Amino acid sequence: MTGCAFGERLREIRQSAGMTIEELSAASGVSGRAISDMERGHSRAPQERTLAALTGALGLADPDRAGLVALVRAERAGGRAGRPRTGELPRGIGDFVGRERELRELRGHAASGGGRTPVALVHGQPGLGKTALAIRAAEQLRDLFPDGQVYLDLRGTDPEPMGAGEALRRLLRALGVESRGIAEDEQERAGQLRAITRERRCLVVLDNAADERQVRPLLPGAGAGMVVVTSRRLLGGLDGVLRIGLSPLTSAESAQLLRAVAGRAFDQAPGYELGAVTRLCGHLPLALRIAGTRLASRPGWTMGHLAGRLADADRRLANLQVGDLGVAAAFALSYAQLSGPAKVVFRRLAHVPGADFAAAHAAVLAEVDAGEAEDRLDELTELGLLQHEGCERYRFHDLIRLYAADRLRCEESAQARARTGRRLGDWLLDTAVAAGLRFAPDAGGPGPDDRPGLPASASPEQARAWLRAEADNWLPALRSAAADGRHQRVADVGEALHWHAERSVHTGRWAEVFGLSRAAAARLPDRRQEITHLAYYGWAVSVCQRRHAYGVDLAMEAYRLAEDLGDTREQAAAMHHAAHAWRLGADACQAVAAYRLALDLAGTAGDHDGYVQVRMGLAQALVEFGRPDEAIEEFRGVLRELDARAVDPAAARMAAMTARAALARCLGDVRRWPQSLAEAVRALPLAGAHGPHFAGRVHLTLGRSHSALGATEQARAHLTRAIDLLGGHDSGPGTAGSRAPSCTRALCEVEIPVWAWHRGIAQHAHVGVHCAEHRTTSIGVAQAALADLDGRNYVDTGQTAYA
């Protein structure tokens, strides 16, 4: 471009003002290279902002300024205007909502150059509004880039994305380089782009990038400009890049966007209908915009009508489409880019019933090893089709899950889907059984085999973690097995899990689990299984749901069945469950009588393990009913029976630890402190072998005993240790975390014991004074200790004593 009247006039004015190009650049903020290109006619007419900066720096009077403006307008009228159309920013969204934090990050990054051109990557799953954010940022950052803005769609989701060479050619043309001046070699073009952007303060938006290989040659080196890249991929191979991952909108932002698009239909909608629509849209900007557009273009529709349509999961994606815009179409672009094996994993993950899953699920569904499953999950995550949930788990966005289910229905036969779903369900239930058996008294060795997600050598802690993490997956699998009439399978799961249930009473699922196993067992020919699962169900409704009367009814139903069969052992077990339910219902007379009957029945049946457990339960009941002297004799009786009876070794170790710890506590309750201290000393090594919550309880008793005997330093040491072991620990049967307040109160002072009783269970809060003037403060501490206990309900499982 030669003979540019504007450029020649600009040079004349600059020289008349006695300014060099460098001086004008410093004064105006326009790069020296850009000024040089204008004067030589090598660039197009400047934008209004650039022109204003130049005329201001030159100090032009109104006539000279008007003359320059006229020259610019004349060149534009002659077809020499601004950037070429191919480099113009697309039209922005007028009702843009949210993303304030991301916009602040981009503005801050724009000002952080320091020599190297800042590059930001906006990434995330389809439909989150990555392009909209990039354009909004460009609009807000115009003042920082007087040399202009350039936009290029790299078509990264097309079957054939734009090549780097073609992208370089388009960027160079948009920056004013004539076609004949663009190098043929791709590397030379990249050098040309770096040379131009080094001298210009311009913003480049590279939208919809395919991969690192496409983007890397387009990035400047040093310079005062900025590049914003958008991509569904993380582009982990690019270094020195600010990565901004987008998430769905918040509930408030979703409502704001829906209001902006839907208009009148939004204003007339009640809040619950609005909440339903935003939730069913998954707070995804694309889905919300489509939903709002459908409402705005259909005057007869209401928000409730749309919510009803979206509530049908099988039709939700079809209802989230308007014109050529659709949520499913956006997802399909990413799905098409997956490898064949990743497509299989993606669609089969729709079989997972819960919200999140791990690589083990993918391995089972796709019938591959764990390593290959992880590779496929990485591919899905890279394309934004999966999201990380913690360290080793993943989840779908709700709408992407529906798309995966749609692909599964379309691409696999009903028979294949049934086989895959059954394979996943069997694996979940097999692993749940293996995990549950890790809590059985004789579970000393490895499990039956090495399962994905739960190795054969899994510890009880690992088994507990798996059961908790997978609760929303194995429980639906159990429901499916029950619905399919696989009665023995359901009963086997219930039998295995009852060991774990007794150690996690507050999870809220056990009444359903044992309700299913009870119903299944009732359909089996072996009536003894029905008795067993009736008892388990009775335990669950009493302990977990606090429906103690119903728990008694179920236990007595099991007792009558056992009586009909002449099975004394099962009679003893059923009566034990009835006694426990009466005990939790605070019916002391019935509970003690039932325990004693169960004790006689277990003795008659020769059930040594059961006999010890029943006697332990009787002793604990006596504690709760305020009869500590009788409880002391029963705990001592338990210890004698352990020496006299052939009890399972693992169960015997647990019973000995529990009995000694509880005996020490009871002796302290009746102020027999030397004996309490002696028993606690014996209990401590046993408790330490069973986990921190048991050891913490014994340290609490030791602290109380030492305090009462005047050994202040020893008391403080044990109470401090109790706090360390019990504070926040929740692996015990519902009580460990609740011990920390008592220990803290005990540690505050060590002289005055305060007894707090709640629902018949003795809870101890030691409060005292260092000296007389602190007595008022200590009373407040005591009241706080009691307040900590108020409203709590500590449940004994029959396996362990409460300290």
CATH number at residue 198: 3.40.50.300
Structure confidence at residue 2 (pLDDT) = 37
Instruction: Choose between 191 and 39: higher pLDDT.
Output: 191
Amino acid at 712: T
Same domain as 232, residue 203 = yes
Instruction: Say if residue 637 is exposed, middle or buried (CB neighbours under 10 Å; 0-12, 13-18, 19+).
Output: middle
Same domain as 187, residue 96 = yes
User: With 70 as the cut, is the pLDDT of residue 781 above it?
Assistant: no
Is residue 194 within 8 A of residue 180, CB to CB? The reply is no
Report the number of distinct structural domains present in the chain.
4
Residue 382 within any structural domain of the chain: yes
User: With 70 as the cut, is the pLDDT of residue 730 above it?
Assistant: no
Sign of the dihedral defined by the CA atoms of residues 81, 85, 90, 94, in that order: positive
Instruction: Choose between 488 and 718: higher pLDDT.
Output: 488
Instruction: Choose between 178 and 2: higher pLDDT.
Output: 178
Q: How far apart are the first and last CA of the chain?
A: 90
User: With 70 as the cut, is the pLDDT of residue 114 above it?
Assistant: no
Q: How far is CA 392 from CA 196, 558, 780, in A?
A: 45, 43, 46
Same domain as 68, residue 133 = no
Same domain as 403, residue 268 = no
Q: How many CB atoms lie within 10 A of CB 598?
A: 29
Residue 285 within any structural domain of the chain: yes
Proportion of the chain above pLDDT 70, given as a percent? 85
User: With 80 as the cut, is the pLDDT of residue 54 above it?
Assistant: yes
Q: How far is CA 681 from CA 246, 299, 678, 719, 721, in A?
A: 57, 79, 5, 14, 14
Is residue 167 within 8 A of residue 191, CB to CB? The reply is no
CA 96 to chain centre: 28
CA distance 214 to 613: 70
Closest C-alpha among 327, 242, 218 to residue 282: 327
Structure confidence at residue 792 (pLDDT) = 36
Instruction: Say if residue 440 is exposed, middle or buried (CB neighbours under 10 Å; 0-12, 13-18, 19+).
Output: middle
Structure confidence at residue 90 (pLDDT) = 86
Q: What's this model's pTM, rounded to 2 decimal places?
A: 0.74
| Strand runs labelled E in 139-225 | 149-153, 203-207
Same domain as 53, residue 36 = yes
Mean pLDDT confidence for 528-544: 93
Structure confidence at residue 59 (pLDDT) = 84
Instruction: Choose between 192 and 502: higher pLDDT.
Output: 192
Q: What 3-state DSSP class applies to 532?
A: helix
pLDDT tens-place string over residues 691-707: 788 888 899 899 989 98
User: With 50 as the cut, is the pLDDT of residue 82 above it?
Assistant: no
Residue 419 within any structural domain of the chain: no
CA distance 580 to 578: 5
pLDDT band (50, 70, 90) for residue 81: very low
Q: Which of the residue ranges 173-177, 606-610, 663-667 would you say has the lowest mean pLDDT? A: 173-177
Neighbouring residues of 575: CB distance < 8 A, sequence distance ≥ 6? 555, 559, 594, 597, 598, 601
Among 224, 245, 266, the domain-final residue is 245
pLDDT band (50, 70, 90) for residue 759: very low
- Residues forming beta bridges with residue 228, ordered by sequence position: 120, 205
- 3-state SS of the chain: helix, strand, coil percent to 5? 65, 5, 30
Q: Which domain holds residue 27?
A: 5-82
Place of tokens 């009679």: 571
Q: Which of the residue ranges 38-47, 94-103, 347-356 would you say has the lowest mean pLDDT? A: 38-47
Structure confidence at residue 251 (pLDDT) = 92
Same domain as 359, residue 265 = no
- Mean pLDDT for all residues in the chain: 84
Mean pLDDT confidence for 242-255: 94
Closest C-alpha among 179, 149, 181, 155 to residue 167: 155
Closest C-alpha among 423, 434, 424 to residue 464: 434
- Residues forming beta bridges with residue 245, ordered by sequence position: 123
User: With 80 as the cut, is the pLDDT of residue 744 above it?
Assistant: no
**CA-only gyration radius of the chain, Å:** 37
CA distance 272 to 279: 10
Residue 203 within any structural domain of the chain: yes
Proportion of the chain above pLDDT 90, given as a percent? 56
Task: For residue 15, give the CATH number of its domain.
Answer: 1.10.260.40
Mean pLDDT confidence for 343-364: 96
Closest C-alpha among 542, 545, 547, 517 to residue 532: 517
Same domain as 196, residue 97 = yes
Q: Which of the residue ranges 42-46, 340-344, 526-530 would you say has the lowest mean pLDDT? A: 42-46
Structure confidence at residue 31 (pLDDT) = 78
Mean pLDDT confidence for 629-634: 94
Structure confidence at residue 76 (pLDDT) = 57
User: With 70 as the cut, is the pLDDT of residue 376 above it?
Assistant: yes
Among 48, 82, 116, the domain-final residue is 82
Is residue 599 within 8 A of residue 611, CB to CB? The reply is yes
Q: What is the token pair recorded at 207?
A: 């939208």
Residue 363 within any structural domain of the chain: yes
Residue 144 within any structural domain of the chain: yes
Structure confidence at residue 316 (pLDDT) = 94
Residue 122 within any structural domain of the chain: yes
CA distance 550 to 545: 10
pLDDT band (50, 70, 90) for residue 581: very high
- Residues forming beta bridges with residue 123, ordered by sequence position: 231, 245
User: With 50 as the cut, is the pLDDT of residue 765 above it?
Assistant: no
Among 36, 65, 82, the domain-final residue is 82
Residue 760 within any structural domain of the chain: no
Same domain as 240, residue 118 = yes
- Residues forming beta bridges with residue 120, ordered by sequence position: 228, 242
Place of tokens 């273009």: 297
User: With 70 as the cut, is the pLDDT of residue 265 above it?
Assistant: no
Amino acid at 36: S
Same domain as 285, residue 380 = no
Q: How far is CA 770 from CA 50, 269, 774, in A?
A: 77, 64, 7
Q: Phi, psi (5° rounding) for residue 613?
A: -65, -40
Same domain as 237, residue 94 = yes
Same domain as 61, residue 108 = no
Same domain as 286, residue 314 = yes
Task: For residue 379, give the CATH number of its domain.
Answer: 1.10.10.10
Structure confidence at residue 449 (pLDDT) = 52
Place of tokens 């003894």: 528
Instruction: Say if residue 414 is exposed, middle or buried (CB neighbours under 10 Å; 0-12, 13-18, 19+).
Output: exposed
Q: Which of the residue ranges 76-90, 315-329, 368-382 would you say has the lowest mean pLDDT? A: 76-90
